[in-house]
Amino acid sequence: MTSANITFENTPFSRLIKESEELAQIRKEYASLSDKERMFAADYHYNASFASQLFDAALGKTSDKSSPWPCEVESLAIDPNYAPAILTVGSYEYIYGRIDEAMNLFLSLVTLPETTEDLVEIIDKAGDFLIDNKDYKNAKTLYLTAVRKHPNIPTYHSGLGYCLAKLGRLEEAVEQARCAVNLEPDNYLYLTDLGWSLVEAEHFDEAHTILERAVSISPPDYELAKGNLKELHHRLQQI
């Protein structure tokens, strides 16, 4: 099937890579390369295409890109394990209402090698994307999968704790926030999160201790720990 018959707006990537002659050919052309060579090719294509589009836009020009497919779709055709393209294409799948397709892509990030560049940040961006869409259930699934695969990454525990709190599972949220702090005891962000989780779970004494610690090691311009401590004092006055 040619690209004239299908578009990314109405067809998930999992079908595009099979039904689009252009994308299928791209996948075939790069399949014989090593993993490293495919990654470099996908990365170059991904970033070069963005740069070209931005440059043309700045000059008020119409892009002369001949391919009908977005650069991130082509990059994922080049390398099915290229994390930035997985994140972007997954986000588009979600925006187009194909939630299962999006989650399949997001969850595939967790299976990539730990040495994948910026992998923790990219998985966390996928989680943030779901959270921004108030899809706490799927965000929880993503972070829980990441925690089980990589239990020593505090970012994943922190994200999971946030989702659990949003789902009303406050004691479990405290547990995950505590895991993040145990992994990085002097991280004021994780201490702030733990302190607030304890406030929501009404463990006020420990919350006070943790939030005071967070305030004491936070940069001067970081206000959240101070604000959470102030809110805790307000709640205590209401008891």
* HSE-up of residue 110 (Cα within 13 Å, Cβ side): 21
In angstroms, the CA 145 to CA 46 distance is 27
- pLDDT of amino acid 63: 46
Alpha helices per DSSP H over 111-223? 119-132, 136-149, 154-166, 170-183, 188-200, 204-217
The answer to whether residue 52 scores a pLDDT higher than 60 is: no
- How far apart CA 212 and CA 75 sit, in angstroms, is 47
Look at residue 47 in the predicted model and tell me its pLDDT.
87
The residue to which tokens 């989680």 are assigned: 127
Is residue 2 scored above 50 in pLDDT?
A: no
Distances (CA, A) of 234 to 90, 135, 224, 238: 42, 30, 15, 7
- What's the pLDDT tens digit per position in 221-232? 999 999 999 999
Encode pLDDT of 81-128 as tens digits.
999 999 999 999 999 999 999 999 999 999 999 999 999 999 999 999
Band (pLDDT 50/70/90 cuts) for residue 48 is: confident
